[in-house]
Amino acid sequence: MITSTAWRGKRYAVLGLARSGRATVDALMTSGARVVAWDSNETARNQILSRRERGTSEAGGEVVSTSDAARGEYPSVSLRLPPPPPGEDLTVADPLEIDLTGFAGVVVSPGVPLNKHPIAAKARDAGVPIIGDIELFAQARAELPPHKVVGITGTNGKSTTTALIHHIIETAGIPARLGGNIGLPILGQDPLPEGGVYVLELSSYQIDLTFGLDCDVAVLLNITPDHLDRYAGFEAYAASKARLFEMQSKGHAAVMGIADAPSAEIARQVAVSGRSEDLHKIAPGVCMDQSRWPALQGPHNAQNALAAIAACEALGIDKEAIDKGLETFPGLPHRMERVATKRGVLFVNDSKATNADSTTPALSAYPRVHWILGGLAKTDSLEACRPGFGHIVKAYTIGDAGELFASLLEGEMPVERSGTLEAAVKSAAANAQPGDTVLLSPACASFDQFKDYEARGQAFRDAVEALG
């Protein structure tokens, strides 16, 4: 795991004890910090205590390859933790109920809504910074073997681009770690040897909790309305993305999509500031031969590939390794995942498309589409999907947004109110002709009918398999 002498003897509160929270507790305590840990879930609190009593830690030490990550296979590895130094210990207590005076930081999960959660005011009143595990990684970098960091953000395409960059780096024979909003928690992984590259997917929430991450290469893919319940408005959300570049030292590389106005404006600001002497702008509509990249189809993946190519070139990786990486990239689950071909009909799982903007590229990637959409709507509009309407043979609406979306699409295309995912798959399969594509690209969150988008994607796989 990644540790730092900078944390020794200091006190931290850790709020949220899911995977990254547990790794944070382990890293801090192994470094000699005193930790107050809390989660509203009693089971999570009990697990952190029982793990500490056993002297074990999760997930440290094993490298997860991109192909493992693509399959969702993240091994859990037990490592022996040293006993806490004298006078240092772990306390399970709600940070809202204790005096935070003198704490070095409150480390919160990115899922904690700081615009609503009382911990924000509590920490502010105590003069204690609210940070995340990525900020702790940034603090630990000075003690790691010489390395580079690539940070990738954007509303859509982050995971694919992050995994693609990581895969190309490994293909070039360079040690790499995948972390941030994908794969294993970065603090739970072993440090890279000299010359390695940490590749981090960074959501706006994670950037909000980070203040010192100086990326050698920073990548912005796009900015479209999303997560607006956490921000004062769209401008505040865009400003969060821009901070990734504001943290960079002068001379480090920036790769920036300029297809949307907010991203183009951030690119202009970076250019004017003179911080980046190596600025790559990714323009929309660039024609590319994607025929040799089976996992990178569609215009959005052309843009993702361009961003990955620019980032890897900035790292000094040669063209041959980049080309090989693009050709052998396995893709990620639930992101235009080719599930099966049955009786000449292709079934594609794009469950990760949780908003209309992320659905649009998938609709445009196939000539004849039977579109399964719906769930818990983020907006009451599908206008962003209009460029793909000409490809749709029929739409099948499901979930909470089913009626709303059916009413929006009627008159534009044939529509069936299927209700459930299983019913939609059966109906679409019955209507599809050889050469057609049955596409789950919901343009919605999943929480009305499923635990998360991964559970929804698995349900789609199961329904396709059940077709026989």
Choice between 322 and 276, residue whose per-residue pLDDT is larger: 322
| Mean of pLDDT values over 306-327 | 97
| Mean of pLDDT values over 358-362 | 89
Question: 52 pLDDT band (50/70/90 cuts)?
Answer: low
Provide the whole-model pTM.
0.80
Question: 51 pLDDT band (50/70/90 cuts)?
Answer: low
Domain boundary among 291, 306, 328: 328
If you search the block for the tokens 């205590």, which residue do you land on?
49
Considering the domain architecture, whether residues 312 and 347 belong to the same structural domain is answered as: no
Percent of the chain residues past pLDDT 70, beyond the cut: 92
Percent of the chain residues past pLDDT 90, beyond the cut: 78
Considering the domain architecture, whether residues 277 and 413 belong to the same structural domain is answered as: no
pLDDT tens, position by position, 236-249: 999 999 999 999 99
pLDDT at 54 over 90: no
Question: 53 pLDDT band (50/70/90 cuts)?
Answer: low
Considering the domain architecture, whether residues 235 and 278 belong to the same structural domain is answered as: yes
Quick check: 208 and 114 in contact, CB under 8 A? yes
Considering the domain architecture, whether residues 308 and 426 belong to the same structural domain is answered as: no
Considering the domain architecture, whether residues 427 and 323 belong to the same structural domain is answered as: no
Domain that holds residue 117: 5-328
Choice between 255 and 59, residue whose per-residue pLDDT is larger: 255
Question: 395 pLDDT band (50/70/90 cuts)?
Answer: very high
pLDDT tens, position by position, 423-452: 999 999 999 999 999 999 999 999 999 999
Q: Estimate to the nearest angstrom the gap between the alpha carbon of 192 and the chain centroid.
A: 21
Considering the domain architecture, whether residues 284 and 141 belong to the same structural domain is answered as: yes
Considering the domain architecture, whether residues 383 and 460 belong to the same structural domain is answered as: yes
pLDDT at 82: 44
Domain boundary among 283, 307, 328: 328
Considering the domain architecture, whether residues 27 and 130 belong to the same structural domain is answered as: yes
Nearest to 81 by CA among 48, 47, 52: 52
Considering the domain architecture, whether residues 264 and 396 belong to the same structural domain is answered as: no
Domain boundary among 290, 310, 328: 328
Residues facing residue 413 across a β-bridge: 410
Q: In angstroms, what CA-CA distances link 463 with 341, 440, 467?
A: 13, 11, 7
pLDDT at 235 over 80: yes
Considering the domain architecture, whether residues 376 and 291 belong to the same structural domain is answered as: no
In this structure, what CATH number is given to the domain that contains residue 35? 3.40.1190.10
Considering the domain architecture, whether residues 443 and 393 belong to the same structural domain is answered as: yes
Rg of the chain in Å (alpha carbons): 23
Instruction: Count how many domains the chain has.
Output: 2
pLDDT tens, position by position, 85-103: 444 489 999 999 999 999 9
Handedness of CA 234, 19, 449, 72 (dihedral sign): positive
pLDDT at 324 over 90: yes
In this structure, what CATH number is given to the domain that contains residue 421? 3.90.190.20
Question: 111 pLDDT band (50/70/90 cuts)?
Answer: confident
The residues carrying an active-site annotation are: 158, 181, 227
Considering the domain architecture, whether residues 206 and 166 belong to the same structural domain is answered as: yes
Q: Can you read off the two tokens belonging to residue 153?
A: 């953000």
